[in-house]
Amino acid sequence: MKKLINLLRGYVELEVSGAFPERLLNLCAQNRLQFWRLCWIDETSFTFRIALQDRKRLEELARRAMCDLNEKGRRGAVVVAEGIVQRRWGFVAGLAFCFLAVSFLSRFLLVIEVTGNDTVPTAVILSQLQRVGVRPGAYGPAIVEKEAANEALLGLPELSYLAINIYGTRAEVVVHEAEKKPKLLEEDVPTDVVAKADGIIEHIHVSGGRALFQDGDIVAKGEVLITGDLDLKEPAYGTVDLGHLIVHAEGTVTARTWRTLEESIPLTVQGKTYTGEERIGYGIKILWFDLDFFQNSSIFSGRYDKITRTDQLVLFDHPLPVWLTTTTLRGYSLEERTVDQEEAVQRLEHVLNARLEELMAANQGEVIQTDFVTREENGRLTVTLLVECREEIGRTVERGGETGRIFGMPQNDTNDNG
């Protein structure tokens, strides 16, 4: 263990000569100066080893003992480090600079991660965070996380919660989206329930107002199915017209409907044929500064595909605020190509099915039967989807008047002057 400690802190091997060299050994013992590997050469000289840090103290004791010191060699980790610094000072300086750069740059934000959002785009959240100072390159310790989160939340009404957690060069943004409440018409707003599609009524349920149709009736789009205008019935043999009462009409109307959806594409399209011409340019971004290493990097004549790749530099598993950008430009020309009809039909059918699913989801409907019809006309391929379905066709719309108000003047057949 002592040998390992001596190697780590370093030692020097010396040859001592003088008239009375034993006096130096006595002085070392009196001053508790450790030495080892004592080896007598003759009566006036010997060699031994001492710690490198005790060399200056030994020189003072040697002058008092009137002895001469001759250094035979040095060993240990400290000696090796000194030799590296002396011979390769540039490498040591560069290494020290790298450590200082990592220590300093690790206090800047390099990555911002957003979690918890489904419908609100991440780009919208990052844009709002940038307005409050949370962006790549920002000085992390200067950001007050709670204040920045509250300020960003004010500009994002789609969110109900936002928290910012900074871990070194990474900022984690946790969000919760606000629940969207359906827009409901107030009960004191006069309304009618109107058909939003043609169909045959299978079931009509009235919660308010008066139904103008019954099960099995055929209705057209735009017709009033449930009216908010109630005719107040006067008693039998009555002579007074009680008028009409305006109410908030509501209810559900389920009907069988027939939908026609259509999509088309041209039979010939312009396709790319690459010419083999290719240019590659490089750029570097340091924090907010962009540098291009080639002139007119974004301006070229002709048609080109521009492919940009950005890689962030990493040192000792720590990302640096330095990004290397590689831009590849590939030249191409346009040529007329004939569309594969079978593949085109499949793509159009897929699009129509997606539209049908969205339509049924919006109207709480179900599909009973479907049929596709394909035709070519004027250089275009058209696919038509014929659908028989069952869905909710009622739509609540506002009408004129005020709820609870009675219209119509009372009439009396009896002549008051009679």
Determine whether 318 is exposed, middle or buried from the number of CB atoms within 10 Å of its CB (0-12, 13-18, 19+): middle
pLDDT in tens, 19-47: 788 888 888 888 888 888 888 888 888 88
pLDDT digits (tens, 9 = 90+) for 298-312: 445 668 888 888 888
Question: Hey, is 107 helix, strand or coil?
Answer: coil
Average pLDDT of the residues in 357-375: 91
Q: Does domain 111-177 have CATH number 3.40.50.2000?
A: no
Burial level of 134, CB count in 10 A (0-12/13-18/19+)? buried
pLDDT at 85: 56
CA distance 150 to 384: 51
- Of the spans 35-39, 89-93, 178-182, 202-206, which averages the highest pLDDT? 202-206
Other beta carbons within 10 Å of 203 = 11
346-374 mean pLDDT: 92
Q: Mean of the pLDDT values across residues 273-293?
A: 79
Q: What SS3 state is found at 124?
A: helix
pLDDT at site 16:
86
Task: Examine the pLDDT at 51 and tell me if it is beyond 50.
Answer: yes
* CATH class of the 2-82 domain in this structure: alpha beta
Exposure pattern of 366-398 as b/e (b: 16+ CB <10 Å)? Answer: ebeebeeeeeeeeeebebbbebebbbbbbbbee
pLDDT at position 381 is 92
> Would you say 112 and 136 are in contact if contact means Cβ atoms under 8 Å apart?
yes
List the domain boundaries for the chain. 2-82, 111-177, 263-267+339-392, 268-338
High-pLDDT (> 90) share of the chain, %: 28
Phi, psi for residue 37 in degrees, rounded to 5: 60, 45
Assess whether pLDDT exceeds 50 at residue 415: no
Mean pLDDT of 222-227: 92
Q: Which two tokens stand for residue 335?
A: 């040529």
